[in-house]
């Protein structure tokens, strides 16, 4: 029923594909207008009002690698790099 369409982003001017699946989703949600921006421009526009997240330097308590975390580390709590944190979460 739906076929992929090539559209032009009104923000950057690049072509992007409006897939058949996306068209079906739009129809299910009752959206009548096609997207006017590519995924990258939609994401940039969505995140434009958000302040940049402040990252803090830390050392992983498990492997000892330097890492960055989105909170101020405390001396009384261990901090883990994303890899060790994911491994620990997977074990439970």
The pTM for the full model equals: 0.54
- What 3-state DSSP class applies to 7? strand
| pLDDT for the residue numbered 92 | 55
pLDDT digits (tens, 9 = 90+) for 20-34: 999 999 999 999 999
Return d(Cα 75, Cα 57) in angstroms, integer.
Answer: 13
DSSP symbols for 9-37:
-TTT--EEEE-HHHHHHHHHHT--SPP-S
Listed residue (20, 27, 21) closest to 3, CA to CA: 20
Return d(Cα 61, Cα 81) in angstroms, integer.
Answer: 8
**Tokens coding 53:** 């997240």
């Amino acid at each position: 029923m739906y076929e992929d369409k090539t559209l032009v982003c009104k923000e950057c001017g690049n072509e992007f594909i409006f897939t058949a699946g996306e068209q079906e989703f739009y129809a299910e949600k009752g959206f009548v207008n096609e997207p006017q921006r590519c995924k990258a421009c939609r994401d940039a526009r969505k995140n434009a009002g958000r302040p940049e997240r402040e990252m803090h330097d830390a050392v992983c308590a498990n492997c000892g690698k330097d890492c960055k975390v989105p909170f101020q580390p405390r001396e009384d709590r261990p901090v883990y790099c994303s890899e060790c944190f994911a491994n620990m979460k997977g074990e439970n």
